[in-house]
């Protein structure tokens, strides 16, 4: 589900956590025990207090491969960017043929139906008859798109930060969707996340 993880600005942000009470700007990002202790104290601050704002300087880029159900909820958080993502519109005619692109709980009959529709779409030029109804090719493509299940998986490269991940973790660590539990488990493995935040 999570691949190609890069973390940027960890030491620099830990050092910068001291700026509110420091009249000097840092000349280097070498951190000491005082910096770490201060950052851990601030990182444990209550949500919305503003004391943990240095966490937004710890940037995390990673690839996520998840279902549409996960993406729909993930997009409610606004302190992240999708750098680039797979397009269902551009790829459904190819991706549907690989069962790994569907969550394991998607019914095989649904996957078979989607693939049957894709095969029919690819084999005909103009009109397509499906279930005794004739569709033009453009309309039938829409039918395929609207019938792809929420368990269809797409990947994206994303950019976020530790402050946003703190919020996500608190809100989703006991979520009913298993992908959120996996994502929160991954968050726990990020360098210094446990000591700074949990």
Asked whether the predicted pLDDT for residue 48 surpasses 90, the reply is no
Residue 29: the pLDDT is: 75
The alpha carbons of the chain give a radius of gyration, in whole angstroms, of 22
Residue 136 forms part of a structural domain? no
Residue 194: the pLDDT is: 96
Please tell me the total count of domains within the chain. 1
Asked whether the predicted pLDDT for residue 120 surpasses 90, the reply is yes
Residue 22 forms part of a structural domain? yes
Over residues 88-99, the pLDDT tens digits come to 988 899 888 888
DSSP letters of 170-186? HHHTT-SSHHHHHHHHH
Mean pLDDT value across residues 53-57: 96
Backbone angles phi, psi at 166, to 5 degrees: -60, -45
Q: pTM for the full model? A: 0.89
Residue 49 forms part of a structural domain? yes
Residue 77 forms part of a structural domain? no
Residue 72 forms part of a structural domain? no
Contact between residue 135 and residue 146 where contact means Cβ atoms under 8 Å apart = no
Asked whether the predicted pLDDT for residue 141 surpasses 90, the reply is yes
Distance (Å, rounded) from C-alpha 82 to C-alpha 50?
Answer: 25
Range of the structural domain that residue 184 is part of: 2-61+159-197
Over residues 61-81, the pLDDT tens digits come to 999 999 999 999 998 888 889
Residue 133 forms part of a structural domain? no
Residue 54 forms part of a structural domain? yes
Residue 124 forms part of a structural domain? no
């Amino acid at each position: 589900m999570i691949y190609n993880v890069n973390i940027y600005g960890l030491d620099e942000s830990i050092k910068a956590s001291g700026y509110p009470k420091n009249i000097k700007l840092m000349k280097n990002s070498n951190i000491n025990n005082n910096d770490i202790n201060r950052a851990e104290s601030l990182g444990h601050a209550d949500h919305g207090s503003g004391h943990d704002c240095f966490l937004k300087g710890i940037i995390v880029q990673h690839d996520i491969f998840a279902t549409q159900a996960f993406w729909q909820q993930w997009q409610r958080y606004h302190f992240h960017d999708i750098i680039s993502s797979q397009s269902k519109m551009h790829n459904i005619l190819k991706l549907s043929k690989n069962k790994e692109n569907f969550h394991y709980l998607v019914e095989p009959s649904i996957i078979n139906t989607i693939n049957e529709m894709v095969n029919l779409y690819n084999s005909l030029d103009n009109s397509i008859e499906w279930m005794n109804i004739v569709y033009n090719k453009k309309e039938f493509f829409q039918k395929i798109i609207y019938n792809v299940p929420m368990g269809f998986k797409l990947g994206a490269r994303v950019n976020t930060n530790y402050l946003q991940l703190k919020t996500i973790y608190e809100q989703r660590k006991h979520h009913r969707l298993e992908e959120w539990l996996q994502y929160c488990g991954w968050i726990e493995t990020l360098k210094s996340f446990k000591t700074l935040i949990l």
